[in-house]
Structure 1
């Protein structure tokens, strides 16, 4: 017994300093972890928020809180549909205080877990249910149309709940047990929906007709105008806002991809001012255009039987490309619409079927494109001035990977050797050409930077009876090829309108003038030959 006791006691005393050091390390680790947890908890409580919102959605408030605190919000997708608007103004307050104010009066509750705030539906207690039962009201009302007649079948629902009903033949409705302060939503087809605060007697509620987009859009057939709803023909309309945003010389190029059935094709060697090929619902004639060996329209064949009819402010114009008898500089012909200033166009309508084009007879067999120019608007403002400028640059984005001089000569010598021959006078590239010269023909012929600049200015003035508008534009483009080649256009227009005081006499005058300068060559055949 003594020996055993002594051995244990001796062993304990012998290792006591090491055991004590181990125990101190454990205690120190626990203290550090405790301080870290306390610091995290203190940091969470120390989040300071500053907000100022009025009638904001709960989602908007959540985004701002997340931005300032870094806390994420988690909630079901459809939960916040029942949320009420939030109005609060706080400055440098704690996160808990902001959350309490946000959820005050809301049918939700929240729980903070780490850096996440979980939002869930508030479960009503027995006391809340008793209070809601005694505070619920019965809602009555009557719904009338715009003429004051009863509106039967209108939907009447409590927002955020399944409680709802329909109006009877007299336009009256009754909802039982609606919680006080809830929102009543009244809706009916072709009428604007109404949201009203629930009350025991809502009285007479008059609905307003909603204006459909089909009634707002007005389309023209050239000789009369109608709404999109009443139009029976296939008519597509592009407005000035859509046209003006496109950096193109031809106004019809702004229609690419915007009008179903309209095919606009640019030639492969297209340069500024070249005429595109326009087709509405495909080819309708066997009379097709043909070109000679130089890529120029053969004499007389420019009268393609598939071009649509162009009508500018009621005046038909020739839609075929413009060519001189000796062959123009542009292989595809000049575009007849390129002289029109895009800023002067109010809208473009495309008539595609027989119903829309019947008024034009056989001339509209291939479709009709109506171009309406901007008129001087009657305005009480004395003067209105607008000025728009844009500038751009262009380069060839991808080029062929070509051999340099050393690689080319090595390939040629290997080819001669593989044929079992030696270099002779017929191998002029190996015997007579400069063996140390290298010319990057792609960089030389199409390596320049093309520029484009467009400037538009308009001024208008008038009153309720008389108005005048004057505008001008400058458009200039250059090519990526060497030399002083380019395209420039200067255009002006003036319009004047007057209406008598009794509105029985109306006078409109519009005049436009455009000058084009085109220094371009016939396609890119010369460049293609040089590169190949």
Structure 2
């Protein structure tokens, strides 16, 4: 009803005017309906029943059988199929999920279903958390040793040779010496002028004692001047024996 002043009277029971474009509302309804049909189609596809009985069959043959019985297709890399083991499966009136789970249970291949396509991918292997990390070999230390006299005096310049090899070293001013770790189980020969040479295991090189050689001392004479001690064979001129 319209009043003389141009204003419209609306009865309380009448519905209010609909806001918005009617075409826009129709598009929304159509879009929702399409999504519903797509979801329904996917659900129906995955609910398809399949029966399969294979004994040590190749994966390509199993894929071909599934394609025959269902509307599913496969996407994969040919190199991936070469890694698959022979397939043995026996299922009757099962779903595609049940079939795929049994097929790929012990295979290095995983699968994913998207829009009616079964996508095959290489299975990722996770390392167990309790796996022992690779240990770096412990670097061995060189062999340390020392040469002293029977009185505990360090012998500087003592010769240390690894028996049966050409390796030779000498002790420092404090009697210490060092051998490479590769000689840890070898026999070493320790010698020093005026002392009896000795042999011992490199494992016992920590503290080596050399003893005076009495016979060698008897060969040493004193030059008449009394200022120097030299072996007889090196002395010139006259000298006296003790």
Which TM-score band (shorter chain)?
Answer: 0.3 to 0.5
Normalised to the residue count of structure 2, the TM-score between the two structures is 0.43
Find the structure with the greater CA-based Rg.
2
Normalised to the residue count of structure 1, the TM-score between the two structures is 0.21
Question: RCO greater where, 1 or 2, for CA within 8 Å and sep 6 or more?
Answer: 2
